[in-house]
Structure 1
């Protein structure tokens, strides 16, 4: 697997404070679509036949609602993943990155406490992680899939359960947690998606890769360091 890009966590006016590698097979939603682009889409919808216009309008409203919900929950990125499976079909997943504020300057204490709970067996669904960027923890669970308020035409149209993996790391310069989350309805592929989630977590860095590349420009091309080396190790 190869890395598609080094992704800055923030897409708004704030200066990015952390970066990570996103593997191929994932397409990011635009969580901050420009108003001009939205107006362009609206104008295109007005030119569609009535039936198609109604369907497209519902899709646009759904997208707008999802974007609004993600922004409300401090989601910095949402990426949809589609990968081939062993049966010749496809398996899907959703990867998100969000920030979770903590009271005072206790982010590292929160991570240490949760990692400690995992280490001594008080929480079977968690385990501590030693990542290149610092101490973190992994939490995973299987839970019932959320249901739409609309009646499904067939009971098998939607999955009954999902696998959810979460990695949290304390930001070094802000009282907040960096939360990486992977969700898939394909329970049989949970191990593979856990590996992808952990691979992304190992590339997480609080040092600007562009600055690191400038500092290392005198090194041999193969002498990768920092986030670049982590991405090569984890994503091939």
Structure 2
């Protein structure tokens, strides 16, 4: 069933990222299942495992209030490729003012009380950036490919207060390419600077003094929080 909730924030997604469909229509899933039934047994079993993995990931992301999950693949200096995962989620604050929470964390980062946090002055308001390196998750079924899995990943997180609801908007970038963390930090901050709580269609119509028209250029790249 399609998600019909009204978007409350928008942001730009850079070239090189492909969004994962977090709300696949039932008809599409049934079509995939029907095609799987026509495959030879070996291929059918492998495709079935892949479909179950996808369904499990989507369920987990939805459980954790993830509104966007995008996979990024970019060329690196060694003529290979570097990868990353970008997510956007909402985090309830239990009825507390999200603006006060962000202001307190950002203030603590500014005076050194909250180590590892960096205050941000974004066009949409005050936020903060945190970074950390964590052990990379390991597969429960070791294979030759898993032996080459990086031992650590870099995780960058930007949090901003939603203006009309008691929740935080959390943007997160994760990559196993520790040599490219500066570049991925810049990408994350670049996305954070496009975050807006004003519908780009409404803004374009107000500026033009007429009904909304199809957007082009940077405005067309703006994406809402539900795809």
Q: TM-score, with normalisation over the residues of structure 2?
A: 0.90
1:41-76: CA deviation from partner (whole Å, max 9, x where unpaired): 000111111111111100000000000000000000
Q: State the distance in 2 between where 1:152 and 1:115 align.
A: 43
Match for residue 51 of structure 1? 42
Relative contact order, CA 8 A, sep 6+: which one is greater?
Answer: 2
Where do residues 1-236 of structure 1 align in structure 2 (5 Å cutoff)? 12-153=3-144, 156-217=147-208, 228=219
Q: State the distance in 2 between where 1:128 and 1:210 align.
A: 30
- SS of match in other structure, 2:126: strand
Q: State the distance in 1 between where 2:201 and 2:23 align.
A: 23
Alpha-carbon contact 2:91-2:167 (below 8 Å) kept: yes
Q: State the distance in 2 between where 1:155 and 1:165 align.
A: 24
Distance 1:74 1:134, change over 3 A: same
Q: Any stretches of 5+ residues in structure 2 without a counterpart?
A: 210-217, 223-227
Q: Which runs of 4+ in 1 moved over 4 A?
A: none
Q: CA deviation at 1:36?
A: 0.4
Distance 1:134 1:49, change over 3 A: same
Q: State the distance in 1 between where 2:96 and 2:114 align.
A: 24
- SS of match in other structure, 1:23: coil
Q: CA RMSD in A?
A: 1.8
1:62-115: CA deviation from partner (whole Å, max 9, x where unpaired): 000000000000000100000000110000000000000002242111111111
Q: State the distance in 1 between where 2:117 and 2:7 align.
A: 28
Q: State the distance in 1 between where 2:169 and 2:66 align.
A: 10
Alpha-carbon contact 1:105-1:174 (below 8 Å) kept: no
Alpha-carbon contact 1:19-1:205 (below 8 Å) kept: yes
Q: TM-score, with normalisation over the residues of structure 1?
A: 0.86
Q: Any stretches of 5+ residues in structure 1 without a counterpart?
A: 1-10, 219-226, 232-236
1:144-190: CA deviation from partner (whole Å, max 9, x where unpaired): 11112112335532111000000000000000000000000000000
1:1-46: CA deviation from partner (whole Å, max 9, x where unpaired): xxxxxxxxxx722100000000110000000001100000000111
